[in-house]
Structure 1
Amino acid sequence: MGKKNMSRRGFLGLTAAGAALGVAGLAGCSPAGSEDKPVAKGSDEGSSTYEPGEIAETIDADIVVVGLGMSGLAAAVQAANNGDRVVGIEATNTTGGNGIGVEGIFAVGTQLQKEAGIEVTPVEIIQTEMEEAQMVTNGALWNRFINASGDNVEWLIEQGVKFSGMVDDYLGSGIVSCFHWFEGDVASVGYVPHMTARAEELGVDVRLETSAKQLIMSDGKVAGLFAEDSDGNTLRINAKAVILATGGFAQNQELMEERGWNWDNIVYGGTPGHNGDGLKMAFDVGARSFVNNSTFNSTNICGRGDTFAWKADTFTSVFCGAGMFGTGGAQLWVNEDGERFICEDFAKDNFEMQCVPAMTHRAMYSVFDRAILEAGLAGDPDMLEFVDTDPEDDLCKADTVAELAAYFGVDAAALQASVDRYNELCEKGADADFGKPAEAMVPISTPPFYMAKLNQYFLMSVGGIECDINAQVVDQNKEPIAGLYAVGTDGCMLYRNIYTINVGGTCNGNNVNSGRTAANHAHEYLAS
């Protein structure tokens, strides 16, 4: 997917059957390492399991930024603008991370909005987000973020970031028109190259293919970190502040399973290097985990993603991806026991909800018949031919429900009972079991029958390290760890459990805002 720099909108294959997807950028992280145990904040060595080799280079800096994706670039550029000596390390061979597919950013009160005659009342956004999060999120953080968002966009423009000039509600999915599109409708054109160039212009010491390995602590305060370059040389970077911007833990099996996912069903779709090492480094020095409250960007797909990727331009994703399966709709969903468990159109108003049930069940399956398939694919002859002749391994086509059950090892009697019950409710025109709207109740009665295993096409985690309103990492008592910050998707605290997406681009807005916030707070900390 990355080979075409395709936007998130493009490679998810949004269709009329689906809903618009919110955006969020990621940053690079270092390769997975061994499991570390927490150490006392007073330790000068950090994790007891990492043994740094002979120090090949010692670097003195004010601030180290770990990961140069959307948030890391914002942090590095802001810190350099503040006059601080900045080292930016990135484990991969390029900047941008998963942020290359981000289309734009949320903001209120920009000149672009004013020119378009768009007026937005910030309190409407704050109230909506707080209510949908059941008041668990920090309203003060939302307030501060939203009121800074306009300035963030103006600041980005000053740094050289290019916008297309279009401001809307993100493909009709939002409640307000606050989504500012990058030039070329993607960050790989409008944001990443310009912010990278700006960082270098300001003197940021950019180290690509360099992986952070361990924080160095002194008297309970950050004193720098150890890193390794692509040749295996150990670097010691002395700094009073470290900003973690490593992009989350989507490729870390242990943390993903801790969050509740079935690892066997996960198909990772982001850029490489999001192994949770930034989180582990923070946890090693006593940081409080936010993993179990974190959210994510994920869709349901049929199969393991190969067809979904290489046939994206021919709209195979309509079948294998969210358009056909993710938001449920007319299909019947059953779990590993062959039992129906949900109102299948539950995600119609929030696209991001479609994968949530996967954390409750060992496996999820979509069951439908030929009539439902043809309706879902809008009668597309090419797609129907593909399904008939080149199906995914996780898709079964059969003449009977019993054959479907046998293919997936599901109890045949239970599956047949679920189909019979569903058809009975369809005939009555009322879903007495889960309340699905009558117009979405379509009987499964026209052979051939189909059953598709739903895997989770996972792009990113959002949040993982608990932080305060200044992006400072906090300890188990929710007290800040001096000099340690987590930004972007490492430390996002705007959401709990689900990305609400009713206001498009807030996650990427947080990437920039948290990066700037951390850099500015660190600048004050250095002067104290």
Structure 2
Amino acid sequence: MKKSLSRREFIGGALAGAATVGVAGSLSACSSPSSAAGASESEVRMEPGKYTASYVGHWGIWETPVTVTVNETAITAIEVPTDRTQYGDTEKIFDACRERLFPRIIEAQSFSVDAICGATISSMGVKQAVREALEQALEAGGSDPRAIDAFDVVPPKTEEGQTEEMNVDVLVVGLGSFGIVAMKRAREALMEENGMMACSVWGIDKAGYLGGQSLLTHEMNAVNPPHILAERNGEPLVDYDDYLNTWFTDTTGADGTLKCKEEMVRFFFDNSGAANQWLDVDQGWEFGTVKDTNDFSESNYAVVFNYFSTNGIDKYSNSNENRRAVKDSYHKKIVAEIEATGGGVLLETEGYELIYDEAGNAVKGVKARNNVTGKEYVINAKAVIISTGGFGGSSELMSSLLDPRWAGSWKQNGSTQNDGKMIKAGLDIGAGTYNIDMSPITMEIALPRFLTHFPINFIDGKITARTGRQSTWTYNDIPLWMCVSINSFAVDKEGNRFGNEYAIANGIGTMMPPNAWKVGPYFYSVWSQDQVDQLMSEGFTAVKRTAAYCQQGGFDLNVPTPEVQEALDASIDAGIAWKAETVEELAGAIGADPATLSASVERYNELCEKGSDDDFGKDAEYLVPVGSGPYYAIKAMPVMYGTGGGFDVDTQFRVLKEDHETPINGFYAIGQDSFGVLCSNEINYLAYGGVCQGYGMTSGYTAGYEAGKYAAAQA
């Protein structure tokens, strides 16, 4: 079964990785802004009934059919299949479209309403499909084509100019898993301290759904949880001292000083097990068994708990994909408990400024705005916890806060609503930072955009565990596989070889792949024609680990692949690859220094002839020289899951001032907003598996309780 995807159909793939969120107004590339005059020129006459149009979702593979029901003049219903295998986007993110976007379109009778923040790609796809379905209905009713303008009207922000003041005990900004856990713990502390059943714990989030980026993750690193030790008759899961010493070794800088914050690493080791036990035993967050291997390195400190499944076996479904629905149910259960005791959540509402009492050195609340209605909020709070996922969605902060080697806009995996407004708000009141300049967290490699030249081939009877949908294969992944092939030759934007190409997609020792984080937002994979010819005749014999979350299904390895040349030519046409007759000309095409690239190629070929990579230690079997021209360069991008560095915090997760000693009263930072305390600004992330989730859960578990106690004392 094959299907070729046209450019128009490929709205999801074209937008994948875009940094824009909260898109409003007309469908930019899809339609022209309407005018009152244009709408009045053509009367709306539709043939009543159901009309279906489709768009292709995030991965650029599966279509999502959108059925629009109309009467003669209006939209009356919008539907998509309820079975998640029958549409092309991530289920729990798409649910936000079903719950918020569909009613919004029907109420406004317009497809030019605000997109759902955090589900922008799905929103734009739905809006385009609604437009096409309406065009069908108008044509069937005999309307002039211009009548579509009646449904292309940007609705007003209904509460713009209004301000609501709220008084709460604890406010959590950012409702991913960590923020939701913090809300529950704050509620527990307030009830314990005040002996009351009613307490005002509130949360706000810019996205239109609960869970944030953590809804897409599934591992938590926890050190020897007590209940697991009890089940094992006291036998530890990991050697505490050995693990700790390895952590400190890996985060020691070139100058011999410790780059992580020692007291916070020790706190994580001593408290992550308790946080895991609380989630597992007290809250009923079911975890799979501990992993006994590590996906990314040889360090084997796999004290990692999978959410809901192990080794691809899931009691809720035949796919790991269903873990997102299960995790979402845990989030909603906590929020329901919060609402039952006087609290609540505001979605599509972003905080942008801290209310700060300078004289008392205390955060007293947050100013926020609903991006759909325009309503402003002044939320007075006794304690504020931020868990906004860092600042990866802000090109300004990525340029100004990161080390210059890594500055700039990176391709992101997942949602991009983490625009750093609360990071900037903290900096504005003098909050101190810790490793905020470190490299973003990266684990995958991607092309700037999907190649769309070849058909997507669907494999009957086979389901991909990663997505829960029908498995696919396509030669569109050829250029991506060339970039992760170990026998490739990779250079940075100046033309310097930057490391062992094995580590672009595979772990070496304690190194977290890919090593391309060292060179910033992108690099180039350089190939000569004879290398390309070898791929066509022998196939991909040096690909060990592929870019699972950034591909469209892959294809068979280790077999002749004559489609490589066609894929390269299509990549050049798509602007993601370049071709030149000489190395120097290729350097000019990609903006590198010709002398630098030439010297890099010459040096690499010398090492290949010698059979020893004296520079970076790549195994001799993968040393394939860059031969005769023409030459090709493919642009590849390390994919970030978010920034790592953030605010400096103490063991209560109170944000410290710039002196790194004085806590800012009532201000707490958890998850990626303070994750830098566990890291080094000289390396990318840590290779132990589930560390960011482990820190996020532990920090939410602790900070929520501490903030609740603090707020209770202010009453």
Q: Is 1:257 matched with 2:416?
A: no
CA distance, structure 2, for counterparts of residue 141 and residue 401 of structure 1: 49
Task: State the partner residue of 2:146.
Answer: none
Shift of 1:354: 1.7
1:479-490 maps to which residues of 2 (within 5 A)?
479-490=662-673
TM-score, length-normalised on structure 1?
0.80
Shift of 1:295: 4.2
Task: State the partner residue of 2:90.
Answer: 5
Shift of 1:77: 1.4
Residues 130 and 355 of structure 1, relative CA distance in 2, 3 Å threshold? same
Q: Is the 8 A contact 1:474 1:481 kept in 2?
A: yes
Aligned letter for 2:697? V
Shift of 1:299: 5.0
CA distance, structure 2, for counterparts of residue 463 and residue 484 of structure 1: 17
Task: State the partner residue of 1:430.
Answer: 612
3-state DSSP of counterpart to 1:306: coil
Shift of 1:263: 6.2
Task: State the partner residue of 1:132.
Answer: 250
Residues 389 and 340 of structure 1, relative CA distance in 2, 3 Å threshold? closer
Larger mean Cα displacement after TM superposition, 512-521 or 105-114: 105-114
Over residues 325-382 of structure 1, what are the superposed CA-to-partner deviations in whole Å (9 max), with x where a residue is unaligned?
35x73322334443434444456322345233224xx963222322367334533549
Over residues 139-170 of structure 1, what are the superposed CA-to-partner deviations in whole Å (9 max), with x where a residue is unaligned?
22222212222221221122232323453334
CA distance, structure 2, for counterparts of residue 172 and residue 466 of structure 1: 28
Task: State the partner residue of 1:175.
Answer: 300
CA distance, structure 2, for counterparts of residue 276 and residue 240 of structure 1: 22
Shift of 1:59: 1.8
1:202 is aligned, of 324, 328, 338, to 338
1:325-336 maps to which residues of 2 (within 5 A)?
325=483, 329-336=486-493
1:78-477 maps to which residues of 2 (within 5 A)?
78-82=185-189, 83=191, 84-110=199-225, 111=227, 119-134=237-252, 135-157=258-280, 158-165=282-289, 167-171=291-295, 173=297, 174-183=299-308, 185=320, 188-203=324-339, 204-218=343-357, 219-229=360-370, 230-258=372-400, 259=402, 260=404, 266-290=410-434, 292-298=436-442, 301=445, 303-307=447-451, 314=473, 319=478, 321=480, 324-325=482-483, 329-345=486-502, 348-349=507-508, 350-352=511-513, 354-359=515-520, 364-368=523-527, 369-370=531-532, 371=534, 374-376=540-542, 378-379=557-558, 381=561, 384=564, 387-388=567-568, 390-391=570-571, 393-397=575-579, 401=583, 404-412=586-594, 414-445=596-627, 449-477=631-659
Aligned letter for 1:150? G
Over residues 120-154 of structure 1, what are the superposed CA-to-partner deviations in whole Å (9 max), with x where a residue is unaligned?
22222211111100022122222221222222122
CA distance, structure 1, for counterparts of residue 577 and residue 208 of structure 2: 37
3-state DSSP of counterpart to 1:271: coil
CA distance, structure 2, for counterparts of residue 316 and residue 245 of structure 1: 40
Residues 53 and 74 of structure 1, relative CA distance in 2, 3 Å threshold? same
Q: Is the 8 A contact 2:215 2:328 kept in 1?
A: yes
CA distance, structure 1, for counterparts of residue 174 and residue 292 of structure 2: 30
Aligned letter for 1:526? A
Over residues 272-302 of structure 1, what are the superposed CA-to-partner deviations in whole Å (9 max), with x where a residue is unaligned?
3111011011112111133644342225646
Q: Is the 8 A contact 1:334 1:341 kept in 2?
A: yes
CA distance, structure 1, for counterparts of residue 274 and residue 689 of structure 2: 18
Q: Is the 8 A contact 2:512 2:687 kept in 1?
A: no
CA distance, structure 1, for counterparts of residue 295 and residue 373 of structure 2: 45
CA distance, structure 1, for counterparts of residue 624 and residue 207 of structure 2: 48
Q: Over alpha carbons, which structure has the higher Rg?
A: 2
User: Greater RCO between the two (CA within 8 Å, min separation 6)?
Assistant: 1
Q: Is the 8 A contact 1:169 1:503 kept in 2?
A: no
Q: Is 1:496 matched with 2:680?
A: yes
Residues 496 and 313 of structure 1, relative CA distance in 2, 3 Å threshold? farther
Aligned letter for 1:355? A
3-state DSSP of counterpart to 1:424: helix
Task: State the partner residue of 1:66.
Answer: 173
Q: Is the 8 A contact 2:475 2:567 kept in 1?
A: no
Q: Identity percentage over the alignment?
A: 27
TM-score, length-normalised on structure 2?
0.61
Q: Is the 8 A contact 1:352 1:501 kept in 2?
A: no
Larger mean Cα displacement after TM superposition, 276-285 or 436-445: 436-445
Q: Is the 8 A contact 2:524 2:633 kept in 1?
A: yes
CA distance, structure 2, for counterparts of residue 213 and residue 524 of structure 1: 25
Aligned letter for 2:679? Y
CA distance, structure 2, for counterparts of residue 489 and residue 383 of structure 1: 42
Q: Structure 1 regions of 5+ residues with no counterpart? A: 8-27, 32-51
CA distance, structure 1, for counterparts of residue 446 and residue 581 of structure 2: 20
Q: Is 1:514 matched with 2:658?
A: no
Larger mean Cα displacement after TM superposition, 201-210 or 70-79: 201-210
How many residues are treated as equivalent by the alignment? 482
Shift of 1:254: 1.9
CA distance, structure 1, for counterparts of residue 335 and residue 663 of structure 2: 28
Q: Structure 2 regions of 5+ residues with no counterpart? A: 1-57, 60-87, 93-116, 121-158, 192-198, 253-257, 310-319, 457-470, 544-556
Q: Is the 8 A contact 2:362 2:665 kept in 1?
A: yes
Shift of 1:315: 6.9
Residues 290 and 170 of structure 1, relative CA distance in 2, 3 Å threshold? same
